[in-house]
Amino acid sequence: MAERVQQPPAKRLCCRPGYGSTCRQGQRAAGATCGGGGSGAGGSASTQGGSSKTQNPESLLDIAARKVAEKWPFQRVEERFERIPEPVQRRIVYWSFPRSEREICMYSSFNTGGGGGEEIGSSGESGDETRLPFRRGIALLESGCVDNVLQVGFHLSGTVREPATSSEPELVCNVSVSFDRCKITAVTCSCGNKDIFYCAHVVALSLYRVRKPEQVKLRLPISETLFQMNRDQLQKFVQYLITVHHTEVLPTAQKLADEILSQNSEINQVHGAPDPTAGASVDDENCWHLDEEQVQEQVKLFLSQGGYHGSGKQLNLLFSKVREMLKMRDSNGARMLTLITEQFMGDPRLALWRQQGTTMTDKYRQLWDELGSMALERSKTKETN
Ligand SMILES: [Zn+2]
């Protein structure tokens, strides 16, 4: 539960306007199987190990949902159409998760030579590479350590078990991932990972969803499910929820109850309520999750080490990551370049050297040159998102 609290707050308020409860009931009955895509082409694949793709042509619903999921923030879909049938919502939500491992690889490993990450897939590498979060994530996935995978709307959660070693006991991590238009937009993991890269557990959970989408339980955004309940069901739902997690949620539950029952409270000034599973709002930026604070912290740390203790090498690795992102036309390339440049500009030694009239060290100058050439490259490329 503590991890859930760290989730970025949902940006938009969901109130499901314009829906009649009668048609809701009808739709529910129609799509009642509720498994990993109980309707449409995806559903049949679940029983046949996913190889049915070549036998069955894709349904029109799936083709359309795939395109919409790629390009449209979900709020726009909701605004455009007064009523979206449940099977359609399910397929849009289904197709909204990233479908390739390429970017997940880019956000969880340094480019250790080679191309854009297409050679991924086996965990048999040796040396340092096995320690990269991406490789470790694949190893965890392939050894069956991912469990309890659940997709609720635009939110994926699961547990990843890190087996015990001779020095460390077994560790079970609660992982969750938010996504929008085929990009992972937020990640949390109870391992407390502090790094520019996604941890191995986030990788393992994400790749599970990419590789076995039909095995993942899929539900509509929670606000949608709540909308289907009547008053008695809602009461039962809340009481059970509080009972299961009473030590953690009771203070919050009481605070919310007080606010809702007080007419002048802030919560009563707006219609609807946040839903962390509801997907993107119209003006949400659509880019991959990048921990900007970590980029700043790490560059600052490497600079303070003055290019010694391998920090020069680390900075060069960061530079090559920026290059890789620019090449992939990922908007985080430019963001990362800006963040790194700001840290370089803010380096206290710069002012000191100017004051003393001394020149910077060769190593340091090389890093500056590198930064300059990247800015030049950046000005020549235009990212697509
Ligand atoms: Zn983790």
Residue-wise pLDDT tens digits, 194-246: 888 999 999 999 999 999 999 999 999 999 999 999 999 999 999 999 999 98
**Can you tell me the distance from the alpha carbon of 147 to that of 205, in angstroms, rounded to the nearest whole number?**
8
Sign, CA dihedral 129-133-136-142, equals: negative
Are residues 39 and 147 both part of a single domain? yes
Q: Per-residue pLDDT tens for 334-359?
A: 999 999 999 998 888 888 887 887 77
How many distinct structural domains can be found in the chain? 2
Task: Please tell me the distance between residue 127's alpha carbon and the centre of ligand 1 in angstroms.
Answer: 21
Among 231, 254, 289, the domain-final residue is: 289
pLDDT at residue number 295: 93
Are residues 281 and 303 both part of a single domain? no
DSSP for residue 161: E
86 inside domain: yes
316 inside domain: yes
Confidence tier at 30 by pLDDT (50, 70, 90): very low
Task: Please tell me the distance between residue 326's alpha carbon and the centre of ligand 1 in angstroms.
Answer: 27
pLDDT at residue number 117: 40
Are residues 311 and 219 both part of a single domain? no
Task: Please tell me the distance between residue 131's alpha carbon and the centre of ligand 1 in angstroms.
Answer: 13
Are residues 114 and 218 both part of a single domain? yes
Are residues 25 and 149 both part of a single domain? yes
Are residues 191 and 319 both part of a single domain? no
269 inside domain: no
**Can you tell me the distance from the alpha carbon of 343 to that of 303, in angstroms, rounded to the nearest whole number?**
8
226 inside domain: yes
**pLDDT mean over 290-301:** 92
> At what angle are helices 292-304 and 311-327 packed, to 10 degrees?
140
pLDDT above 90 covers a percentage of the chain that reads: 56
Pick from 5-19, 32-46, 110-124: least confident: 32-46
101 inside domain: yes
State whether residue 192 is helix, strand or coil: coil
Task: Please tell me the distance between residue 200's alpha carbon and the centre of ligand 1 in angstroms.
Answer: 6
pLDDT at residue number 130: 64
**Can you tell me the distance from the alpha carbon of 319 to that of 196, in angstroms, rounded to the nearest whole number?**
13
Are residues 163 and 209 both part of a single domain? yes
Task: Please tell me the distance between residue 308's alpha carbon and the centre of ligand 1 in angstroms.
Answer: 29
Task: Please tell me the distance between residue 205's alpha carbon and the centre of ligand 1 in angstroms.
Answer: 10
Are residues 126 and 173 both part of a single domain? yes
Are residues 70 and 184 both part of a single domain? yes
For ligand 1, an ion, list residues with CB under 5 A: 173, 189, 191, 193, 199, 201
Task: Please tell me the distance between residue 189's alpha carbon and the centre of ligand 1 in angstroms.
Answer: 5
252 inside domain: no
54 inside domain: yes
Are residues 56 and 134 both part of a single domain? yes
Enclosing domain of residue 313: 292-380
| Range list of H helices, the chain | 2-6, 21-30, 41-47, 60-71, 74-80, 86-95, 102-106, 133-142, 200-211, 222-227, 231-244, 246-261, 292-304, 311-327, 331-345, 348-356, 362-380
Task: Please tell me the distance between residue 173's alpha carbon and the centre of ligand 1 in angstroms.
Answer: 6
Are residues 352 and 216 both part of a single domain? no
264 inside domain: no
Are residues 205 and 350 both part of a single domain? no
